[in-house]
Amino acid sequence: MSAWYWLLRGSAGCAVVLVVACGPSKDDKGNTNNNNVIECTGDEDGDSICDGHERNVDSDSDGVADYLDLDADNDGIPDEIEAGDADPNTTPVDSDGDGHPDFRDSDSDNDGLADGDEDINGNGQVDSGETDPHDPDSDDVGATVEVLACVLD
């Protein structure tokens, strides 16, 4: 924390000291060294996504910043599951490659079905009656073609 001091002279000749405290400036990635590179220096909410990736933004507008929010996109699937792995230093998974990592993407596989409607109980498993929120081909038609291709090969 730095501070600027100004010495002002009023019209009656008295001096006034104005002190303005200034916090460290941050770059677009939320770092104070202004190198604009995502750095994993901590995981405040312990969801296995580092603060540098979550940043001080509030994706779901619930009043809790993503770096403190255990479900940043409020789709019912915890960030810890949508992260893709348990290592906070790795880049969070972006299943559909749209530039929005799954933990802040309400339709992670971009198949038109919301994550919360695919993984209804939000446990990261494809249970009975659910579809895979990371599989854009939830009807399995493409998967059958893939299997046939393997047999023919």
The footprint of Ca ion (CB under 5 A) covers 43, 45, 47, 49, 54, 58, 60, 62, 64, 69, 71, 73, 75, 77, 107, 109, 111, 113
Question: How many whole angstroms separate alpha carbon 118 and alpha carbon 127?
Answer: 10
Question: How many whole angstroms separate alpha carbon 45 and alpha carbon 48?
Answer: 8
Question: How many whole angstroms separate alpha carbon 49 and alpha carbon 40?
Answer: 9
Distance in Å, CB of 39 to Ca ion, minimum: 13
Distance in Å, CB of 77 to Ca ion, minimum: 4
Distance in Å, CB of 4 to Ca ion, minimum: 33
Please tell me what DSSP assigns to residue 13: S
Nearest-CB residue to Ca ion?
69
Alpha helices in the chain (DSSP H): 51-54, 79-82, 115-118, 141-152
Question: How many whole angstroms separate alpha carbon 110 and alpha carbon 114?
Answer: 8
Question: How many whole angstroms separate alpha carbon 66 and alpha carbon 59?
Answer: 7
Q: Closer CB to Ca ion, residue 24 or residue 42?
A: 42
Distance in Å, CB of 127 to Ca ion, minimum: 16
Q: Closer CB to Ca ion, residue 113 or residue 120?
A: 113
Q: Closer CB to Ca ion, residue 60 or residue 94?
A: 60
Q: Closer CB to Ca ion, residue 62 or residue 148?
A: 62
Distance in Å, CB of 102 to Ca ion, minimum: 8
Q: Closer CB to Ca ion, residue 34 or residue 56?
A: 56
Question: How many whole angstroms separate alpha carbon 15 and alpha carbon 12?
Answer: 9
